[in-house]
Chain A
Amino acid sequence: MTTPASASRWRDLCHNALWKQNPGLVQLLGLCPVLAISNTAVNALALGLATTLVTTLSGSAVAAARQWIPNDIRNPVFIIIIATLVTCVDLAMNAWLHGLYLVLGIFIPLITTNCIVLARAEAFASRNSVRAAALDGLMMGLGLTLVLLLLGALREILGKGTLFDGAHLLLGDAGHALVLHLVPAGANYQFLLAMLPPGGFIGLALLIAAKNWLDERARRRAAQRASQSASPISSVASTE
């Protein structure tokens, strides 16, 4: 059903959202929740998934309604759509995931102000098909979730010596079995810096540095491959 051209477009879209234009590591959008809620992997994952839900739904809704939205009032309309969706998610979590809701607190309603949601509505969903916008929203959300989860896991392991602590808030009682104690629970291990806000900043900086390093390495290898096949002289010059 999909032509090769559109298949590669979907791939580009995913690659763009998950890596090249990752909201958390490259666009640096919506840092407030990223830094505030990434103190444990479960909190981070939950907020990431809630954001993904909102970006996907708002992307689809904006794309579906785009022909009725006059250009000069598009921003108020986008905000109405986003705020409505966030409030629905907020109420739903309050009703059916109450424990998690108490932990995430103000950061669920604050998804409304997460720039990534409005940015994708404005830059992508308002000029693409519903399917493309939904995929873009989903992938952008997942890109953010991935960063949140990594950062959350990093901070939780360093800060408390556990992983997936509080999983029961997300999964019910079965979640208790998921908690990994990397340091024996009795040892009272605590490394506060990682759990406090500075740990969020330092952790995010380390993740960004790691991504830049990986990109740089890939670029160097590509350049090396290209120069090896092109001219032997330039490869000699580049070894030093």
Chain B
Amino acid sequence: MRRPWQQAQRSALILAGFAATATLLLGSTWLATHRTVADNEIAAQSALLAQTLPADSFDNVLPASRQPLPTVIQQAFGSREALTFYTARHQGRVSGLIFENVAPDGYSGRIRLLIGLLPDGSVHAVRVVKHQETPGLGDYIDIARSDWAHQFGGKGAANLPSWRVRKDGGEFDYVSGATVSARAVTAAVGRTVAAFHRYHATLLPRDTP
């Protein structure tokens, strides 16, 4: 019969053996997959970003063009947290900008948005990236639920005077019973358009003709 100390040593060795084998297995699996995983993540991000700009309007890798928004400008976007934006290029020329923005006043918390703007300052498309609006009520702002977000396409600085939902005298639709969600998103998109209109000289890189 072995003494407890020896038995503990044996157990520890066995456990270490299993741990080492597990590490080996995990390491090799990671080596086999990590490139594909990274590619997948970039592809998924690109696919989401690409939805906000016209197809084939750019040829650069969008996630790689990510830049922080200058703090001075950030306030014009109506956000208290740091924002980033992406620059789309076609043959080196800027063909669009994608802004992240946050609508702080959703019915249940913040609504995170991606807003694709063309160089002339008009909206191409808006995507809700993250929200907690009531399922079946406020979630129509999500493109997976309804076409509501499509109405921003083509609207620009010229529309700013009436950039509100119809209920508040503006030109954007909403679903009655869930005005708050539409109001929050509409306002955030409007702020983004206005801020771009004001600061486009700073935001658009110099190489634009």
Q: Chain A residues in contact with chain B, CB under 8 A?
A: 65, 68-70, 72-73, 76-77, 80-81, 83-84, 87-88, 91-92, 94-96, 98, 102, 190, 192, 195-196
Contact = CB atoms under 8 A, between A and B. Distances in A.
Interface of B is mostly: helix
B25 interface: yes
Given A92-B29, A192-B135, 17 more contacts: A65-B18, A68-B14, A69-B14, A70-B7, A73-B14, A77-B15, A80-B15, A80-B22, A81-B22, A91-B37, A94-B40, A95-B33, A95-B36, A96-B36, A98-B37, A98-B44, A195-B135
Contact of B15 (A73, A83, A190): A73
Contacts of B135: 192, 195-196
A153 B37 CA distance: 30
A112 to B, nearest CB: 12
A67 to B, nearest CB: 11
A192 B43 CA distance: 31
Interface of B: 7, 10-11, 14-15, 18-19, 22, 25-26, 29-30, 32-34, 36-37, 40, 43-44, 135-136
Contact of A88 (B15, B19, B25, B36): B25
A80 B24 CA distance: 12
A91 B33 contact: yes
Contacts of B30: 91
6 contacts: A70-B7, A77-B15, A84-B22, A94-B33, A95-B33, A190-B136
